[in-house]
A and B are shown apart, each in its own frame.
Chain A
Amino acid sequence: MRKAIKIENLTVFYREMLVLDRISVTVNAGRITGIIGPNGSGKSTFLKGILGITPVKQGQVSFFGNSFEKFRSKIAYVPQRESIDWDFPITVSEVVEMGRIIPKKWWVRTTSADKEIVKETLEKVQLSEFSTRQIGQLSGGQQQRVFLARALAQEAELIIMDEPFVGIDMVSQEAILTIVCKLRDAGKTIVIVHHDLSVVARYFDDVILLNKKLIASGAQEDVLKPENIEKAYGMTFLLDKQ
């Protein structure tokens, strides 16, 4: 199996506190990988560390054998809900257009080709009729789909989502997961950070279990075993395996 992300010895400090301790793990290409751990276990920091948003103390990360800089344009990041100001005066299509901005050509206006792509991606996530709405006027699930559309508009190979299922209802959750599965089947690699072991965990192909250190990683059924979960969460959870 191809390796999408190869992480070696990733260590991150927040001020003087050790948040992530020497994590070495790989993410397989063309699969949905869940990063699971309790609150405050450093999952989001892990993502931000990989993406160069948070400075890291040490560690090497490569993407499909390339350095981060080289591969950067093929990575899409879907942020946590709380980090967004939903009153911000931006429309749905403008959010998706953000995916078309290129750092090396920052002065370029939105071209008609870009607009076409934006239209198509909005159709893919079934939000065409909302394209001129302000982002705050959508429901939680729809908002998440907008950000997914932005990731699609980037034409990314690797999509990284930070807690996409917080604060949205079951129906929207299913809708998002359907899109994510379709993307996986189209050959994209998807990484999802998730905070608990609810139903969502079933959709992950691979799981990385984190709590400041790497607890376990690998295929979902190998990782989500009671002894691993006890190590990560500190107590026994009854796994809901339907």
Chain B
Amino acid sequence: MDLSIWIVLIGTALIGICAALVGTFTFLQKKSLIGDAISHSILPGIVLAYMLSGQRTAWGLMLGAFCAGWFATQQISWLQWKTRLKSDTIVAATLSMFFAFGLALLSYIQGRPDDGQAGLGDFLFGKIAALDIRDLYLFLGISTVIIIAIFLRYRVMFSFAFNREFMISKGFSLRWNDFILNSMTILVVTMGVQAVGVVLMSALLIIPVLSARMLTCRLSQILLFSVLLGTFSSLLGSYISILGANIPTGPCIIIILSACAIIIALTVKLQSKRKSHGK
């Protein structure tokens, strides 16, 4: 196998691992849909970064994406503070506003004479084959940060998700905790959109932990299973999409992930049924 395939495979594996790790904590915090909101909201950041820098560099686009994602989470918490609206309305409103703004910008640069925006469309559905070695270095850096942060902080985040009042009464800051989790989500999403695209990124965060949760109720095992599942399906999915000529990476990964989840769910249900019959 040549180098580019290795780059792609390592890149997707990193995305799968990080998404599964961060997704576990957003799931436990019952904030799974924040991931969806963030992944839609980073579109204007990507397009603006492209417009400003004039080229498609991984660093620039990621910086733009990170800023946009951060703005979106800020807007969500501002709206939660300022209005009586329920949080699902606020999330959907933010998501659609940012995405619409991104699409408007995209259509604006597509109307310009220098038709160099090719590749930005890939962010909508993801195209992992476009990954090069510099992207991979960036991915490695981000994954290291995320893995270290989770390694040091998993106990606090886990406890916060279970019983936040207790943690506040002990002197932990809720705002700080939310900020760390949001930043990690944004980082993972900016990494992941290159592989699975804006629309399907949330699946990579949700489905591994959802299936792991069905298998076990121990945190360490949930983390282990979801990382395994996330890595396995992103690797297999991207491999299939490299083989096939016209298969988009994102949907391919998600279908494999969903298939695994359904198989796991059915096996668990069947087993528990058999057990209850045995009694």
Contact with A along B125-168 (1 / 0, CB 8 A): 00000000000000000000000000011011011011101111
Residues of chain B within 8 A of A84, CB atoms compared: 162-163
Shortest distance from the beta carbon of B141 to any chain A beta carbon, whole Å: 21
**Interface assignment of A63: CB less than 8 Å from any CB of chain B:** no
A98 touches B169 (CB 8 A): no
Answer yes or no: A101 CB below 8 A from chain B CBs.
yes
**Bound-state Cα–Cα, A48 to B218, Å:** 30
Closest to B209 in A: A89
A90→B220 CA distance, assembly (Å): 10
Chain B nearest CB from A10 CB (Å) reads 16
Q: A89-B219, A94-B219, A101-B170 are in contact. Are A53 and B165 (CB under 8 A)?
A: yes
Known A48-B165, A52-B168, A103-B171: A98·B159 in contact at CB below 8 Å: yes
**Chain A neighbourhood of B152, CB < 8 A:** 106-107
Q: Which residue of B lies closest to A50 (CB)?
A: B169
Do A75 and B169 form a contact, CB below 8 Å, given A88-B28, A89-B216?
Answer: yes
Q: Tell me the minimal C-beta distance from A135 to chain B in angstroms.
A: 9
Tell me if A127 is interfacial: C-beta within 8 Å of chain B.
no
Report if A72 contacts B (CB, 8 A).
yes
Cα(A48)–Cα(B168), bound, Å: 10
Residue of A72, A95, A101 with most partner-chain B CB within 10 A: A101
- B198 touches A (CB below 8 Å): no
Query: In the bound complex, what is the Cα–Cα distance between A194 and B259 (angstroms)?
Result: 49
Contact with A along B230-260 (1 / 0, CB 8 A): 0000000000000000000000000000000
Q: Is A218 an interface residue (CB 8 A)?
A: no
Other-chain contact of B153, A83, A88, A95, A107 (Cβ < 8 Å)? A107
Mark B residues whose CB is within 8 Å of A: 28, 30, 152-153, 155-156, 158-159, 161-163, 165-172, 213, 216-219, 222
Q: Can you list 8 pairs linking A and B with CB atoms under 8 Å apart?
A: A73-B170, A79-B163, A84-B162, A85-B30, A88-B161, A90-B158, A90-B162, A106-B153
- 14 more CB-based (< 8 A) A-B contacts, given A52-B168, A72-B171: A77-B169, A77-B170, A79-B166, A84-B162, A89-B28, A89-B217, A89-B222, A94-B158, A95-B162, A98-B162, A98-B163, A98-B166, A106-B156, A109-B155
Chain A contacts to B: CB under 8 angstroms: 48, 51-53, 69, 72-73, 75, 77, 79, 83-85, 88-91, 94-95, 98, 101, 103, 106-107, 109-110, 134, 150
